[in-house]
Chain A
Amino acid sequence: MDLINTIIDNTILNQTFQVWISVLFTLMMLSFLFRDNPLYKLGENTFLGISLGYGWVRAWEIAIVPFLIRPIKDAYLDFQPYDITLIFWLLMGSTMFFRFSKTKAWVANYYFAFVFAYVAGYEIPVQVQNLFVQGANMMKPLFEYPTFFEISKWFVIIFGTFAGLMYFFFSKPHRGLLGKTARIGILILMINFGASFGATVMGRIALFIGRAQVLADNVVPSIIITISITVYLIIYFKYIKKEPGLDDELMH
């Protein structure tokens, strides 16, 4: 056991090893930008495997043992009337496994019915309340804050919503006033999509910056691993894989 601990301390838990692995996997994933390759696949599957394994272990330690196994053990040793609820919900939850059976799948429907009923009963009132809050905010005095931006924004919101809806009104041909309103509607929708797309790009770049910082902070491992991966990719695409596969996206 000591030997295993020593090996783990000097490999996985070693700071230098962690830095190299971090840089290696970052560059392995980025190698996809050149072309789909085995290094990317290895990185992708390692990430998925570790995420699932880690998630399962944490779920077992933090959720399943303290909220299910331990209470059942306690109920077995010292049964109390309220333990019936635990057993009831355990059985109800277990009915989900009937989905694997072709003939007995209906058993799970009772549990789903309960979940749907709960979600509908809870969500509908709070969502409606939320809509009222949002709606009530549209009915504020126009000159509450007498600045150009504050006053004009209400016209944009109200007319923009109306124009956007008119674009999807197909019961009448889009000609004349309706056509012009629909045209403004699509422009407003495009501005909205553009803003969302811009925010998305900014978010994605921000995520990449997190990885770029790792590479920039560890120059030596980054350079060595980049050269190694480049050499590998040249050899792989020149001598090993010459024909593109079905799932190989060609970049041009």
Chain B
Amino acid sequence: MDVLISRLKKLDRRWIFLLIFLSCIIPFWIPSLFRQEFSTSKETQRVYDIINSLNEGDAIFIDWAFNPTLQAELLPMAEQAIKQCFDKKIRVFIYYPDLTAISLGENLVEKIKKEPRYTEIESGVDYIHLGYLPIGVDMMMFSMYSDFKSTFGKEGKIFKGIKTFDDIKYMMSFAGSAHPEYYILLQRRFGFKMGVGVTAVTGPDFIPYLQTGQLDGMLFGLKGAAEYENLRLKNLNLSTEELNEEKKFNQQANAGMASLTLSHIIMFIFIGIGNLIYFYERKFKKSN
């Protein structure tokens, strides 16, 4: 026993890195071995329900505050939110508070437009990239509540009937930082409805806002993105063949969930081993 403990204590941490690496990569090669099902959280369900309840021609504002460094978690969420809007023929306004995020958003929408379901989606009619403004969220919100269109200096059919931000039915902020809090702070004054899509790192900071109702819906980390993917696909009412076809384009987050689970199991095992050694040694020292 002591030899085993001594060996485990001296275990090179690179073996653990290697195991974590393999646990992340193997599920991509053998996905059938790691098929799993999980429930949908009520926060994810809320985002889906709100967007689903909007009517054709309504407008949604997407605040795209993440760059490629966070795309693994946030890109699938943004993709599903945009696709759900396109399915419902809801107008999408995408604003980028980060300069380096613009091309990521533009590329995603172009990718979506290549899918068979969305070939007729038009820029300036169904969606618009509002670009970047070198001002803070506070200034932008005041300006949008004064004159939405002139805030961004853009033109298009999409602006028809949108005079101020009051005409936007819902806003989603996708971020890996405290950025959505700028909007939450102004929500009391303007009373708009908003949800967030956040990384697992920043997610816990937003839970108090859910409890107070300041946030209406939240997508939390990769799991939130996977839940949203499943929820949207389930409610498309497609035949099995069509569903399988659609899954080819909508399984980005789900594909990572098996890796996430397996890597967590590895970590649990090592945390367990570490704790066992700690308690064993403490007991051994006490008895001596």
By a beta-carbon cutoff of 8 Å, the part of chain A in contact with chain B is 30, 33-34, 51, 54-55, 58-59, 62-63, 67, 122-123, 126-127, 129-130, 133-134, 136-137, 195-196, 199-213, 215-217, 251-252
Contacts and interface: CB of A to CB of B under 8 A. Distances in A.
A215 B256 CA distance: 13
Interface residues of B, number: 49
Given A130-B185, A133-B188, A216-B29, A58 B72 contact: no
B212 interface: yes
A205 B28 contact: no
B199 A63 contact: no
Interface string B178-192: 000000111011000
Contact of A208 (B24, B28, B189, B255): B24
Nearest to A204: B201
Nearest to A252: B12
A204 B73 CA distance: 10
B255 to A, nearest CB: 7
A203 B185 contact: no
Given A127-B185, A137-B211, A212-B259, A202 B221 contact: yes
A206 B134 CA distance: 31
Interface in B5-35: 10, 12-14, 17, 20-21, 24-25, 28-29
Nearest to A58: B99
B72 A207 contact: yes
A205 B28 CA distance: 15
A199 B208 CA distance: 16
A195 B200 CA distance: 11
B59 interface: no
A133 B204 contact: no
Given A133-B212, A209-B259, A210-B256, A199 B200 contact: yes
B263 interface: yes
Contacts of B138: 122
**Chain B binding surface SS class:** helix
Interface in B109-133: 131-132
Interface of B: 10, 12-14, 17, 20-21, 24-25, 28-29, 69-73, 99-100, 102, 131-132, 134, 138, 184-186, 188-189, 199-204, 208, 211-214, 221-223, 255-256, 259-260, 263-264, 267
A215 B28 CA distance: 10
23 contacts: A30-B21, A55-B100, A58-B99, A58-B102, A62-B131, A63-B99, A63-B132, A122-B138, A129-B188, A130-B188, A133-B212, A134-B212, A205-B20, A205-B24, A207-B70, A208-B24, A208-B72, A209-B222, A210-B71, A212-B28, A212-B259, A213-B256, A252-B13
B200 A200 contact: yes
Nearest to A212: B24
Contacts of A126: 185-186, 188-189
A213 B26 CA distance: 10
